[in-house]
Structure formats: C-alpha cells, structure tokens
Amino acid sequence: MASDGTATQLAPRNAVAVFLVRKDGSLLAQQRDEHAPISPNQWGLIGGSRDEGEPPEEAALRELREETGLAPHEGLSLFFAGVRPASLGSGSTSWHVFWCPTTAGDSDIVLGEGRAIRFLSADALRNADLGTSAAFFLPLFLASPGYAACLES
C-alpha cells in the first residue's frame, strides 16, 4: 500500500513477450491504450504476465492468442531470458522473450487488448513512441540472428 492507503501498482514479476516477424521485416506491435498500467498510449510488444508455475513458452503463446487471436505455425524460439529492472514500482522482472517468423497479416489479427495491433516496419517501430520494455528489447532483437533468420525464411 502507498502512504495514502491506495494499492501500489507493480510491474509483473514474471513476464513474456513475442516478436512475430514477417519476411518483409515488419514486426507485430501493440499500441497500448490509455488504461494500460504500464506505458499507456505507447507502442509495445505482444505479451504480459506469466502465471505462477506456467512455463514461459506456454505463457507467451497464451498472451499471443489473447491479444491477437494468432497462433504461430512454427514453434517459438527464445531470444532473451533474464532479469530487468521493473517498469513500474520497485524490484525486478524476469523476462522470457521469444520470436517466430509468420505469414500472418493485419487482416488476421483479432484485437484483444489495447488500441491497435498491427505489423509495422522496423523503421516505423524505431521511430515510434515505444514503451519501456519495447524500447529495450527492439534494438537488441533487430540486431539479432533471430531477426535475420526471419528475413531469410
């Protein structure tokens, strides 16, 4: 509780995210709405909290389904597993970030959360108003062998 008696909002302690990448290099991103507790009105990754005892890959697939209605045709590949400072509140968050190539398009997406979810070019995302986690993970992923592999698939 905060000193004024209200509940203190915290970032998830276990989080997952997914980079879905089209052969043209565009990536699936979510424009969060004004009600998002973390990074409202900014562009972010598809993902969220991992439930206690839930394996990271299962959590990532669940979040992808819940937020977009999409399911990858291939298995997810792990891009990042580690701890980062919490985006909201004190402490840290354990992250598992995955990637997968896709042939899905914007017309395949069922918006389950946020203001918009669509594929954006890497340049558009680099220049977008990114949330904290997206701003950290996007440049790392764009420089990774996983992103390069998606362009070749």
Residue with tokens 């004024």: 4
Cβ pair 14, 97 in contact under 8 A: no
pLDDT at 10: 59
Average pLDDT over residues 75-99: 90
23 vs 11, more confident = 23
pLDDT at 12: 64
Out of 3.30.1360.120, 3.90.79.10, 3.20.20.70, 3.30.470.20, the CATH code matching 14-152 is 3.90.79.10
Q: What percent of the chain has pLDDT over 70?
A: 92
Cβ pair 41, 33 in contact under 8 A: yes
* Average pLDDT along the chain: 90
47 vs 2, more confident = 47
In a 13 Å sphere around the CA of 97, the CA atoms on its Cβ side amount to 22
Q: Which residue in 135, 116, 140, 110 sits closest to 125, CA to CA?
A: 135
Given a cut of 70, whether residue 9 has pLDDT beyond it is no
CA angle, residues 39, 40, 41, in degrees to nearest 5: 115
What are the boundaries of each domain within the chain? 14-152
